[in-house]
Chains A and B, each alone.
Chain A
Amino acid sequence: VLHTSRPLHTTQQCLAPLPPLPEKGGEVRYGLIPEEFFQFLYPKTGVTGPYMLGTGLVLYLLSKEIYVINHETVAAACILSVIIYGVKKYGSDVAAFADKLNEEKVAKALAVKNEAIKDLETAIEQEKKEQWRVEGRNYLFDAKRNNIAMLLETNYRERLLTVYNEVKKRLDYQVAMQNLKRQKEQDHMIHWVEKNVVQSITPQQQKESIAKCILDLKALSKSAQAAV
């Protein structure tokens, strides 16, 4: 159930990026008592105040048997000594190991972040390049227009050629027809004239013409002999 009356995201506090963790925890003395306690008592009792308070408290508890010394006291003392010895001896090593683990985690996250940044930067560069390419689209369209114009021109010329060829064929046909007709007429006429001429040559005319030819030939031969 979503309370629609509750406003969302009204505070300034935003969750990302998170503020970094503090380097060191609050100061604690002897691992048990926070430093604030000592600071709290310092103005009134100076430096030794809290220690006096502690000693007095311990003696009071022991003497009044509010803290009863029993077998558990011995056990606690042994355990505490062992723990303190362990912490003192191996504390720094464990701390270094934990720090190393943390370092690796942080380094991995940082590597991922750097990778992401690099990828985004290359993406930005490629995007810019694409934008630059887009500016050249005018040339693309000019080339296309040129292509189309060339196609149209070619087509037009082809059709022109076809028309020319067709017309020439028809005209050649007409010319051939006329030539054929004239030749036929000529041949026919020549044939007819020759036939008529041959027919019209009577025997008499033939003899006269032959005699004339002989006389001419004689005359010619005489003049030829004289020339030679």
Chain B
Amino acid sequence: GPLAERRLMDVRLGELPTWLATCDLSPQGLLGGVRKAWSSYYDKYINVKRGGPAGISMLLAGYCLLSYVWNYQHISKISFLVSV
């Protein structure tokens, strides 16, 4: 289909900038994108009859990763490493 309506995984690498240009980057647009992403994740891994640990474990892993990335500056300081 046309470029603007394709999902991210269906976009080829060369078309990525144009695809990014077409998508809605206003606050409402971003919020809508976040909501869609969460709902697709939720429907795939959490809102099922017999789920497993995968649903929340991926969220927790992502949270750990994100917090490490945000705190990298502070963790890598020598004063922090020596203190504990």
- Give chain B's interface residues, CB within 8 Å of chain A: 44-55, 57-58, 61, 64, 68, 72, 75-76, 80-81, 84
Q: A32-B57, A32-B61, A65-B76 are in contact. Are A23 and B84 (CB under 8 A)?
A: no
Instruction: Provide the main secondary structure of the chain B interface.
Output: helix
Contact, CB under 8 Å: A21 / B54: no
List of A residues within 8 angstroms of B45 by Cβ? 25-26, 28
Contact, CB under 8 Å: B53 / A87: yes
Contact, CB under 8 Å: A21 / B75: no
List of B residues within 8 angstroms of A23 by Cβ? 48-50
Task: Give the docked Cα–Cα distance between A66 and B47 (Å).
Answer: 36
20 intermolecular pairs with C-beta atoms under 8 Å apart: A21-B48, A22-B48, A22-B49, A23-B48, A24-B49, A25-B45, A25-B46, A25-B48, A25-B51, A25-B52, A26-B44, A26-B54, A28-B54, A28-B58, A31-B58, A34-B58, A70-B75, A70-B84, A87-B53, A91-B52
List of A residues within 8 angstroms of B49 by Cβ? 21-24, 102
Q: A68-B75, A70-B81 are in contact. Are A25 and B53 (CB under 8 A)?
A: no
Task: Give the docked Cα–Cα distance between A68 and B84 (Å).
Answer: 13
> Interface 1/0s, chain A 69-87, versus B by CB < 8 A?
0111000100000000001
